[in-house]
Chain A
Amino acid sequence: MRWLRWGGLAVGLVVAWALPRVLYPPVALDILCWALFAVSVDLLLGYLGLLSFGHAAFWGTSAYTAGLLAARAGAPFPLAALAGALAAALLALPIGYLAVRRTGIYFAMVTLAFAQMVYFVANQWRSLTGGENGVQDVPRELFGMDLSDPYYFYYWMLPLVLLGLFAAWRVVHSPFGRVLVAIRDNPVRARALGYPVHRYKILAFVLSAFLAGLGGGLFALSHQFVTLDDLHWTTSGQAVVVVVMGGIGTLWGGVLAAALVVRLEDVLSLAHFEQVGLITGGIFVVVVLLFRQGIWGTAAAASRRLAARIARRRPG
């Protein structure tokens, strides 16, 4: 199966390279950012079993940090994005510390509530965030180069995004990742085996926040401004929708679904259809009811069935 993995990687890279050539470049930029966001949420949901419904707090905090650093201090964009991710990770410490004291649905509700709190604070802290006006005129700096064309900026941004995705993959396929799965499946046993469960959870939460922050920071730089929408619970909700649609625990399903949802919104807006929630909500509900493995999971299962059928037909 090794060749499948490498083949998949090759296909992914080709698509990533081709994206801004076939799609309107700003849409391609959005896809990259949302891919990171989806993967960050899936890290918690798929591998730790924790549904964070307030991840926009990290996406948005990083966006504001990156945006402000670029706008006020002229920071080069990779630095701004990483600083934003760091800010998100720092925010995740107290929130994570409090949130992991509950599990399951409670965890979801608590993260949702804290994210709402962050939203209100940002709204009030008008001198920093600009309130409803947001942070406008976020420049893209890199040693004085002209990055104003989104098409070229995409290729500058791509390495950072690929790095983030790789980091997520690495975390999942590591001893740490396996402990997370163990905690998800049987926390009592994990604790009995001596693992400090709370600490693992908090660490995973912080890592996930860092990734979401990377996505958010790059989002701020690609849109060149930051608004309160980036902290709103509907943004958190959309990340969850994307992950579930893609397939919980598949990582790449989230990437695919992110592309799908971003593209869908673009298509709908070109067609002047306003009720986007109807479509995404509808698909989402169908997935939850009938296709819980998500797009990736269903495709993987289908290809497994196909492979099995071929194997059965082969003589001997």
Chain B
Amino acid sequence: MINFLEQTVNGLVNGGFYALLALGLAVIFGMLRVVNFAHGAFYMLGAFGAYVGLREFGLPFWVALVLVPVVLAGLGMALERTAINRLARLDPLYNFLFTFGLTLILQDLVKWRYGVNANPYEIPAGLTGTVHIGQFGFPAYRLFVFGFAVAACLLAWWLLARTRVGMVVRAATERPELTGALGIDVGRWITPVFGFGIALAALAGVLAAPIQAVNPLMGADLIIVVFAVVVIGGLGSVTGSVATGFGIGVAGAWAQAYAPPIVAQTLVFAVMAVVLLVRPAGLFGREEGVA
């Protein structure tokens, strides 16, 4: 029983990463109608940011946690202003392609400089211990990651539901032309929201650095799983993406623990297939991009 609990909590930790990434993707998509293939690359850059920050500048984890997302958000916003904006008027496919090309470039640049090997990054002091509740023991850092991911998602929810920006984003997501027609300047929020989405990816990266391999390809396969997550959850739905992220994390952990390996690897895709059959718009999504 304890073991089951540990596996479940572990699944929630993994799910936290999926949720953070899916959330960033969903927010960017909601506002810009761009599916950011480079999301995985920014996650990777976040982790490398923490690593390089420590190695070259001696930045401790807590500083990196704040600084790296801000810096990468800045980079993201610059990209949005220069390139993504130009392609925004065209078929969204072009921005998807652009971000794909960007991924190739970013990955190879990092590979050039740092090689493909994993780079070590230590768990920050203070979180290296284990939390014990009765017989249940779990690494403190992982619990922290889970908590942080939940907090970030709650913050995003609060921003969307209770602030003016959030209102604008939601309105722009559901009724872009009408929102513009009402005189609301949607445009000025596009770049900051993109930056926010990138910051979430980078944040996930920094959080991942101590527990996953910091290498140039760490975002590559992950992003495909996240795509499946948002297709299941419904790309236009923030709640859906987050809920599905956590859900897939837990389901994956159970599958890995109690089922043959093939199940764990293909679970998310099989679920996606079922959702496409039964509810093409996604579990929480609206009728968007349905043929």
Point out residues on A near B: beta carbons under 8 Å.
51, 98-110, 112-114, 116-117, 120-121, 123-124, 187, 197-198, 201, 233, 237, 240-241, 244, 274-278, 280-282, 284-285, 288-289, 292
Label chain B's interface by main secondary structure.
Answer: helix
* Given known A-B contacts A102-B280, A105-B96, A120-B266, A289 and B87 have beta carbons under 8 A apart: yes
- Whether the Cβ atoms of B276 and A110 lie closer than 8 Å is yes
Question: B1 contacts the other chain (Cβ, under 8 Å)?
Answer: no
Contact partners of B94 in chain A: CB under 8 A: 288, 292
**Which residue of A108, A110, A116, A275 contacts B93 across the interface (Cβ within 8 Å)?**
A108
Contact partners of B109 in chain A: CB under 8 A: 275, 278
Q: In residues 98-116 of chain B, which contact A (Cβ within 8 Å)?
A: 98, 100-105, 107-109, 111-112
Contact partners of A237 in chain B: CB under 8 A: 100, 104
- Whether the Cβ atoms of A244 and B272 lie closer than 8 Å is no
Shortest B112–chain A CB gap in Å is 5
Cα-based distance from A244 to B280 in the complex (angstroms): 28
Cα-based distance from A288 to B105 in the complex (angstroms): 14
Question: B83 contacts the other chain (Cβ, under 8 Å)?
Answer: yes
- Whether the Cβ atoms of A104 and B289 lie closer than 8 Å is yes
> Which residue of chain A lies nearest to B228 when distances are taken between CB atoms in the complex?
A113
> Which residue of chain A lies nearest to B269 when distances are taken between CB atoms in the complex?
A117
Shortest A131–chain B CB gap in Å is 12
Contact partners of B140 in chain A: CB under 8 A: none
- Whether the Cβ atoms of A285 and B266 lie closer than 8 Å is no
**Category for how many chain B residues contact A:** 35 or more
**Which residue of A51, A109, A198 contacts B227 across the interface (Cβ within 8 Å)?**
A109
- Whether the Cβ atoms of A278 and B112 lie closer than 8 Å is yes
Contact partners of B73 in chain A: CB under 8 A: none
Task: Mark interface residues in B83-97 (1 if CB within 8 Å of A CB, else 0).
Answer: 100110011111011
Contact partners of A102 in chain B: CB under 8 A: 231, 276, 280, 289-291
Contact partners of B268 in chain A: CB under 8 A: 113
- Whether the Cβ atoms of B224 and A281 lie closer than 8 Å is no
- Whether the Cβ atoms of B290 and A116 lie closer than 8 Å is no
Shortest A7–chain B CB gap in Å is 32
- Whether the Cβ atoms of B269 and A114 lie closer than 8 Å is yes
> Which residue of chain B lies nearest to A105 when distances are taken between CB atoms in the complex?
B35
- Whether the Cβ atoms of A51 and B93 lie closer than 8 Å is yes
Q: In residues 221-262 of chain B, which contact A (Cβ within 8 Å)?
A: 221, 224, 227-228, 230-231, 235, 261-262
Question: B128 contacts the other chain (Cβ, under 8 Å)?
Answer: no
- Whether the Cβ atoms of A100 and B273 lie closer than 8 Å is no
- Given A101-B280, A277-B107, 17 more A-B residue pairs with CB atoms under 8 Å apart are A51-B97, A98-B276, A102-B291, A104-B91, A109-B228, A113-B228, A113-B268, A116-B269, A117-B270, A120-B262, A121-B266, A197-B291, A275-B112, A278-B105, A281-B108, A288-B87, A288-B94
Max count, chain B CB within 10 A of own CB: residue among A104, A281, A288: A288
> Which residue of chain B lies nearest to A109 when distances are taken between CB atoms in the complex?
B227
- Whether the Cβ atoms of B266 and A240 lie closer than 8 Å is no
- Whether the Cβ atoms of B97 and A240 lie closer than 8 Å is yes
> Which residue of chain B lies nearest to A54 when distances are taken between CB atoms in the complex?
B224
Question: B265 contacts the other chain (Cβ, under 8 Å)?
Answer: yes
Task: Mark interface residues in B196-217 (1 if CB within 8 Å of A CB, else 0).
Answer: 0000000000000000000000
Cα-based distance from A104 to B90 in the complex (angstroms): 12
- Whether the Cβ atoms of A278 and B101 lie closer than 8 Å is no
* Given known A-B contacts A114-B269, A275-B112, A281-B108, A101 and B262 have beta carbons under 8 A apart: no
Contact partners of B221 in chain A: CB under 8 A: 116
Contact partners of A99 in chain B: CB under 8 A: 276
Can you offer 18 A-B residue contacts whose CB atoms are under 8 A? A98-B276, A100-B291, A102-B276, A105-B92, A105-B93, A107-B289, A108-B96, A110-B231, A121-B262, A233-B224, A277-B105, A277-B108, A278-B104, A278-B108, A284-B97, A285-B105, A288-B87, A289-B87
Contact partners of A289 in chain B: CB under 8 A: 83, 86-87, 98
> Which residue of chain A lies nearest to B270 when distances are taken between CB atoms in the complex?
A117
- Whether the Cβ atoms of A124 and B265 lie closer than 8 Å is yes
**Which residue of B98, B103, B231, B266 contacts A288 across the interface (Cβ within 8 Å)?**
B98
Contact partners of B112 in chain A: CB under 8 A: 274-275, 278
Task: Mark interface residues in B106-136 (1 if CB within 8 Å of A CB, else 0).
Answer: 0111011000000000000000000000000
**Which residue of A106, A123, A124 contacts B235 across the interface (Cβ within 8 Å)?**
A106
